Amino acid sequence: MNTPDAALEIPLQAAARIRIVLVGTQHPGNIGAAARALKTMGLSRLVLVAPEQYPADEAFRRAAGADDLLAAAGVVATLAEAVSDCRLVLGCTARSRRVALEELDPRAAASRVVDLAGADQVALVFGRERTGLSNEELQLCHASVHIPANPEYSSLNLAAAVQVLAYELRVALLAAGGQPSPDNGVRQEAAASHAQMEGFFSQLGETLDDIDFHKGRAPDSAMRKLRRLFLRAGLNEQEVRLMRGILADAQRMARLATTKPD
């Protein structure tokens, strides 16, 4: 095809693996405006986590023609549920370096998302208008994304932030031109899903208890650091199985050590 528009077609299958997750949105108008922002950039998957008022007429009014996207939006109760099958989860935050997570700018984030979306489900997560994402929610993310706005006034309107990221995703998708990224072509093992990582973290937490790693200290700080380490590493499924095998053996040895001989 050589119509001018053909040059602006994005790889639809990759676009369909990118989901935009809005957590705890307070103003339904922002949900509609976010849907419109996505549709203008050729994205279509919206997931709402416990929106405060939804469905709402105001959301459909502000969607202005993107109501198909709103009608198809999933509504779930928790962020973990919204991203359980995702291999990459990025959390957008208005406050730079608020969390000790790797921080990406929108362009780097879009490039990472589009690389993986050739084969895997990925999510970009946005927080509440008043309070953003909680620390617990950010801890579910592999990295954070910060739009380098005016440091003295860095908080964009939610739908405006969605628009910035959606635009960068479109540019990255257009550049990818429908070709799966070389990485995905040669990769042997799929990246671990969010649910697989959470299973690993819960066994890691139990194992640390079993081997009395904390010795009376609160476990939270060590677990936060370990989560960050393993999420940054980007483990694949095989590596998660290997780690869980090691943990299972450590747990078995801990049980043996505490079993008193008859």
Q: Which is nearer to ligand SAH, 83 or 133 (CB)?
A: 133
Angle (nearest 5°) at CA 129 between 125 and 134? 55
Contact 53/28 with Cβ under 8 angstroms? yes
Closest CB 132 distance from ligand SAH, rounded Å: 2
Nearest approach in angstroms of CB 63 to ligand SAH is 18
In whole angstroms, the minimum distance from the beta carbon of 113 to ligand SAH comes to 14
Report, in Å, the least distance between residue 164 CB and ligand SAH: 8
Closer residue to ligand SAH, CB minimum distance, 45 or 210: 45
Query: Which positions lie near ligand SAH, rule CB under 6 A?
Result: 92-95, 126-127, 129-133, 145-147, 149, 154-156, 158, 161
Q: Least distance (Å) from ligand SAH to the CB of residue 157?
A: 7
Residues 118, 237: Cα–Cα separation, whole Å: 18
Give the nearer residue to ligand SAH in terms of CB position, either 22 or 117: 22
* Shorter beta-carbon distance to ligand SAH: residue 83 or 161: 161
Q: How far apart are CA 245 and CA 217, in angstroms?
A: 26
Q: Any idea of the CA torsion for 112, 138, 49, 198, to the nearest 10 degrees?
A: 80
For 216, the token pair is 């009376």
Q: For ligand SAH, which is the closer residue by CB, 86 or 161?
A: 161
Any residues with CB less than 8 A from the CB of 156 and at least 6 apart, and which? Answer: 94, 147, 149, 164
CA 160 to CA 152: how far, in whole Å?
Answer: 18
